[in-house]
Amino acid sequence: MKVELISIGDELLIGQTVNTNASWIGEQLAERGLLVHLSTTIRDVENDIIQSIDAGIKRSDVVIITGGLGPTKDDITKKTLCKYFESEQELNREVLERVEFFFESREKEMLEVNVQQAYLPKKALVLNNLVGTASGMWFEKDGKVVISLPGVPYEMKDILLREGFPMLLEKFSVKELYSKTIYLQVIGEAFLADRLAELENQLAAKEVKLAYLPSTGMLRLRFNGKKSDEVVFEIKKSIELIKKEIPVHFYAEYNISLSEVLGKELVHQKKTLATIESCTGGAIAKEIVRIPGSSAYFQGSVVSYNEVVKQNLVHVNEDTIIEYGVVSEEVVKEMAEKGKELLNVDYCVSTTGVAGPDSDGINKVGLIWIGIATNKRTFAKRFHFGNDRERNIQSAVLTALNMLRCELFEIKT
Amino acid sequence: MKVELISIGDELLIGQTVNTNASWIGEQLAERGLLVHLSTTIRDVENDIIQSIDAGIKRSDVVIITGGLGPTKDDITKKTLCKYFESEQELNREVLERVEFFFESREKEMLEVNVQQAYLPKKALVLNNLVGTASGMWFEKDGKVVISLPGVPYEMKDILLREGFPMLLEKFSVKELYSKTIYLQVIGEAFLADRLAELENQLAAKEVKLAYLPSTGMLRLRFNGKKSDEVVFEIKKSIELIKKEIPVHFYAEYNISLSEVLGKELVHQKKTLATIESCTGGAIAKEIVRIPGSSAYFQGSVVSYNEVVKQNLVHVNEDTIIEYGVVSEEVVKEMAEKGKELLNVDYCVSTTGVAGPDSDGINKVGLIWIGIATNKRTFAKRFHFGNDRERNIQSAVLTALNMLRCELFEIKT
């Protein structure tokens, strides 16, 4: 069974609005075992709309259209659908009453253009809009279904969740999909692809697809296959295998951030945390504080961007800086240790390095030391990220949080 | 001239990734006077890719493809393009050297799959990727252009900005647009739309369009019209008017961040800066440090997330906290003043408030005080943002930076 999406609206094509409707519908359908095979964004132009619907009906079983149902002049989807399906419009009294009530309850005046929204094509089933004034429509032709929905996200979602999806699932009985995504902290996807090559071949033999979805410092791995006991077993087994093989990188099997994983564990262990940041400039603290409830474990941070601040506020010995240089294992460890005392915490994370784009004259751009002081030990690691300042900072943030995660969960690195 | 986009990737269709590439390219092309008339998202399936390219070449002058150029198995775009254009691949030594250098400089092992990325179709012009390993490709057929780009946003953007867009503009001479964007720091766009209503009508009469492009704490205003002396004059005049009318909000007429504007001015005035952050948790420091060269003026920060840290490290009087509460004008001012001394700077910005989602039991969610201490005075302002934690933090960051900008430039608020 093939589903395709058509999003109507100039604002989507010229980038004034990001098309989150298409991704939401795609995700919701995938969860129901229905895969979108094509998604098209077109202008508010009659000819383009007609061509797209016609092509859609020929190649897909279901065509879901969003946009162009508002009361203004540039909204021509309903009129165009009537033309394509050769259907007249008639006043739908039930819809009119709802639109009238919509305006009454908001103490707003109802205009003639709003009355027009209660005129609907005779050949369509009405999909009721309980949160707005533009009704959804369900057309059928040669066993194919065309659904038209308003582009306002919460109206579109409400109509699909309440009426559209259940009706689709009833009309087409399809084989369900099984999909799982795991979350890894990792710099560079290639080394992982290499490491998982064998597993990937095994999965391919069972018709399970593996997708790599990278972002800076992160990688999501998605498993996808037609639902069967065998496929579910294979996917679960593979995830267990990866978990065991690379526990240093694997941090979640559902959608949760690294800072949230840490937060939960710190609360669980009743431990506290602080950061002393140089090259990351508060970015680790920011990522920790982003999580609601972080005040339970996060005490604070000193951003010792300047060398003098490192000495005066964090009390790093001037001698250490002179002897080893400010970007060094010795300094980053002393930062973590002194920070742990200063902020009176169980764990203190520290950073020092060259974020770029210019070198400090001594060290290469992208060279960053990360240190951790705990109640048991102090240690540090050296990393070499890339040339882009913001990506280096983001990579250092996620790498530092991941080092702390390994320490908290006692994972050997 | 017709441009269309093809985005390749299952992850886009099933909604795991929102297609921001398409909206970015659409926006950039619109600014250059080229309008996207169609945007299609398809699967990583050879047949679908070939059909889309073939249909694209028939109906459009330029087809821009993103995605599917990575080193992993699910990336089949290059192979498929070679098939469609009947082109063999050959090793491009220059690209290979760059890929090798890419791995060397990051002290990472280069794998066979990465070597493969230096094999490119004979019939394509190479669009150099200077920030990653997947090259862009430029094909021509029957006077039409097909551009293939990696799906990683920063790689795609870098290639288009440096090589793709200039080459397109040179190849196709279209009626030029004149477009200007101005940058405002503002919470809520509605009050501004109201204030600019008259101006907007005047511009409409000259066929100049005004687009509101809001994001958290920010608003971009884009003026767009067919290039003529009159249109250029109208747009420039309007910008001068807005600059004079709302100097508190207007901060730039080219793409520069508020923190960059501040950085330039601090360097110019030879002044230094620090932050003492509570509810923003290091987010202001992070935004300042994001800017290359910030070490010239930024000394550091104390994130006094915990009350005890406010007292012990920042030396805010316990009495002030007890008498006025931690979220108060008195505390935020004392934080700024004590921070100014502690970090020995000319300007110190401070924050305290309730980011949410839970109230502190005393103050409403979204209530945030921002303080500034300078060599002349200390002052603070009270803000009430919304209910969303991350948006509240982001709003507070930009509002704080804007308050400092007004102080630096002596703009009356």
Residues B377-398: pLDDT tens digits? Answer: 999 999 999 888 998 999 999 9
Q: Of the candidates A378, A365, A343, A338, which has an alpha carbon nearest to the alpha carbon of residue A279?
A: A365
**CATH, residue A158:** 3.40.980.10
Structure-block tokens of residue B321: 């906290």
Task: Give the confidence band of B189 by pLDDT, cuts at 50, 70, 90.
Answer: low
Contact assignment for A26 to B13 by CB distance below 8 Å:
yes
Of B252, B281, B314, the residue that ends a domain is B252
Tell me what pLDDT residue A264 has: 97
Residues B15 and B160 in one domain: yes
Q: Report the pLDDT averaged over residues B3-14.
A: 95
Q: Residue B413 falls within a domain, yes or no?
A: no
> A111 falls in which pLDDT band (50, 70, 90)?
confident
List chain A residues with CB under 8 Å of B342: 313
Closest in A19, A200, A286 to B281, CB measured: A286
Instruction: Label residue B70 by pLDDT band (50, 70, 90).
Output: confident
Percent helix, strand and coil across chain B, each to the nearest 5 = 45, 25, 35
Return the CA Rg of chain B: 26
On the question of pLDDT at A252 being above 90, the answer is yes
Q: How far is B412 from chain A (nearest CA, A)?
A: 30
In a domain, A297, yes or no: yes
Same domain, yes or no, for B247 and B217? yes
Instruction: Identify how many contiguous H helices and E strands chain A contains and give both numbers.
Output: 17, 17
Please tell me whether residues B308 and B336 are part of one structural domain.
yes
Which of A124-128, A212-216, B111-115: highest mean pLDDT? A124-128
Are the Cβ atoms of B286 and A282 closer than 8 angstroms? yes
User: Between chains, do B14 and A27 touch, taking CB under 8 Å as contact?
Assistant: yes
Which residue from A281, A358, A389 is facing B285, i.e. has the nearest CB? Answer: A281
> Is the model's pLDDT at A134 over the cut of 70?
yes
| Beta carbons of A305 and B290 less than 8 Å apart | no
- Which residue is closest to B23 within chain A, CA to CA? A15
Minimum CA–CA partner of B344 in chain A: A309
Measured in angstroms, the CA of B235 and the nearest CA of chain A are apart by 20
* Shortest alpha-carbon distance between residue B303 and chain A (Å): 5
Within 10 angstroms of residue A332's Cβ, the number of other Cβ atoms is: 31
A chain contacts of residue B41, beta-carbon cutoff 8 Å: 22, 38-40
| Amino acid identity, position B213 | L
Q: Which among A144, A171, A198 is the end of a domain? A: A171
Is residue B335's pLDDT more than 70?
Answer: yes
Inter-helix orientation angle A46-59/A77-84, to 10°: 50
Are B243 and B299 in a shared domain? Answer: no
Asked whether residue B300 is domain-assigned, the answer is: yes
Using an 8 Å CB-CB cutoff, list chain B residues near A306: 295, 298-300
User: In this complex, which of A26, A188, A300 lies closest to B309 when CB atoms are compared?
Assistant: A300
CB A128 within 8 A of CB A135: yes
- Inter-chain Cβ pairs, chain A and chain B, closer than 8 A: 279
Residues A165 and A21 in one domain: yes
* Closest Cα in chain B, distance from residue A40 (Å): 4
> If you count them, how many residues does chain B have?
413
Residue A289 to residue B298, Cβ atoms within 8 A? no
pLDDT band at A230; cut points 50, 70, 90 = very high
The shortest CB-CB distance from A190 to any of B29, B111, B290 is to B111
Instruction: Give chain A's mean pLDDT.
Output: 93
A241 within a domain of the structure (yes/no): yes
**Cβ pair B23:A35 closer than 8 A:** no
Q: Report the pLDDT value the prediction gives residue A174, as an integer from 0 to 100.
A: 67
Q: What is the CATH number of the domain that holds B346?
A: 3.90.950.20
pLDDT attached to residue B190: 67
A159-166's contacts with Cβ under 8 Å and 24+ in sequence apart are A159/A127, A159/A128, A159/A129, A160/A25, A160/A28, A161/A28, A162/A128, A162/A130, A163/A127, A163/A128, A163/A136, A164/A64, A164/A127, A164/A136, A164/A138, A165/A28, A165/A29, A165/A32
Decide if A134 is inside a domain.
Answer: yes
Cα four-point dihedral sign A360, A361, A362, A368: positive
Average pLDDT over residues B302-317: 92
Q: Nearest CB to B300: which of A190, A298, A309? A: A309
Q: What percent of chain A has pLDDT over 70?
A: 99
Report how far residue A183's alpha carbon sits from residue A165's, in angstroms, rounded to the nearest whole number.
29
Residues A157 and A80 in one domain: yes
Beta bridge partner(s), residue B370: B351, B381
Do A262 and A248 fall within a single domain?
Answer: no
pLDDT at A46: 96
Residue B217 DSSP code: T
Looking at the structure, do residues B73 and B32 belong to the same domain, yes or no? yes
pLDDT grade, residue A11 (50/70/90)?
confident
Nearest C-alpha of chain A: how many angstroms from B85? 23
B366: left (phi over 0), alpha (psi -120 to 50) or beta: left
Q: In the structure encoding, which two tokens stand for residue A254, read together?
A: 């559902």
- Do A140 and A224 belong to one domain? no
Give me the number of domains chain A comprises.
3
Mean pLDDT over A405-412 rounds to 96
Contact A36 B13 (CB under 8 A): yes
Task: Find which of A305, A307, A394 to mutate to test the B interface (most B CBs within 10 Å of its CB).
Answer: A305
pTM summary value: 0.80
Percent of chain A with pLDDT strictly greater than 90: 72
Q: Would the CB atoms of B113 and A300 count as touching at under 8 Å?
A: no
| A73 and A30 belong to one structural domain | yes
Q: CA–CA distance from B139 to each of A305, B84, B144 (Å)?
A: 48, 11, 8
Q: Chain A partners of B73 at a C-beta cutoff of 8 Å?
A: 193, 200, 210
Q: What is the CATH number of the domain that holds B187?
A: 3.30.70.2860
- In a domain? residue A413: no
Give the long-range contacts of residues A92-101, CB within 8 A, separation 24 or more: A92/A118, A92/A119, A92/A120, A92/A126, A92/A135, A93/A118, A94/A126, A95/A120, A95/A126, A95/A128, A95/A135, A98/A128, A98/A129, A98/A130, A99/A133
Question: What pairing do the DSSP bridges indicate for beta strands B136-141 and B144-149?
Answer: antiparallel
Answer for the pair A63, A77: CB distance below 8 angstroms, yes or no.
no
Q: Which domain holds residue A271?
A: 258-408
A172, B18, B411 from A29: Cα distances, Å: 13, 15, 52
Bridge partners of A300, per DSSP, are A274
What is the pLDDT, as a whole number, of residue B196? 84
Question: Of the candidates A252, A283, A315, which is a domain's last residue?
Answer: A252
Instruction: Kindly identify which residue of chain A lies nearest to residue B102, measuring between CA atoms.
Output: A386
CB contact under 8 A, B39 and A43: no
pLDDT at B273: 98
| Among A41, A43, A313, beta carbon nearest to B342 | A313
What would the two tokens of residue B162 be? 């440096």
CB contact under 8 A, A190 and B281: no
CB–CB contact A289 B283 (8 Å): yes
For residue A74, tell me if it sits in a domain.
Answer: yes
pLDDT score for B106: 82
Average pLDDT (A124-130) is 96
From the candidates A62, A165, A220, A306, which should be mutated to test the interface with B, based on the most B CB atoms within 10 A? A306
| Residue B26: closest C-alpha in chain A | A14
* Euclidean distance between CA atoms A394 and B32, whole angstroms: 31
Give a yes or no: residue B382 inside a domain. yes
More confident of the two residues B106 and A47: A47
Q: Are residue A246 and residue A302 in the same domain, yes or no? A: no
Contacts of A19 in chain B (CB under 8 A): 18-19, 22-23
Q: Residues 6 or more apart from A399 whose CB is under 8 A from it?
A: A185, A187, A217, A370, A383
Mean pLDDT across chain B: 93
Q: State whether A40 and B43 contact (CB < 8 Å).
A: no
Indicate if A298 and A377 belong to the same structural domain: yes
Highest average pLDDT, of A97-106, A335-344, B31-40, comes from A335-344
User: A413 or B191, which is more confident?
Assistant: A413
Mean pLDDT of A329-345: 97
Q: What is the pLDDT of residues B132-157, one digit of tens each?
A: 999 999 999 999 999 999 999 999 99
Q: Which two tokens stand for residue B89?
A: 């691949």
Task: Compute the Cα dihedral for B14, B20, B22, B23 and give only its sign.
Answer: positive
Q: How many CB atoms lie within 10 A of CB B216?
A: 16
Nearest neighbour of A302 by CB, restricted to B114, B280, B302: B302
Beta bridge pairs of residue B139: B146
CATH of the domain at A237: 3.30.70.600
- Give the residue from A39, A52, A63 with the most B CB atoms within 10 Å of its CB, the best one to mutate: A39
Q: Looking at this protein, which amino acid is placed at residue B22?
A: A
Provide the shortest C-alpha distance from residue B16 to chain A (in Å).
7
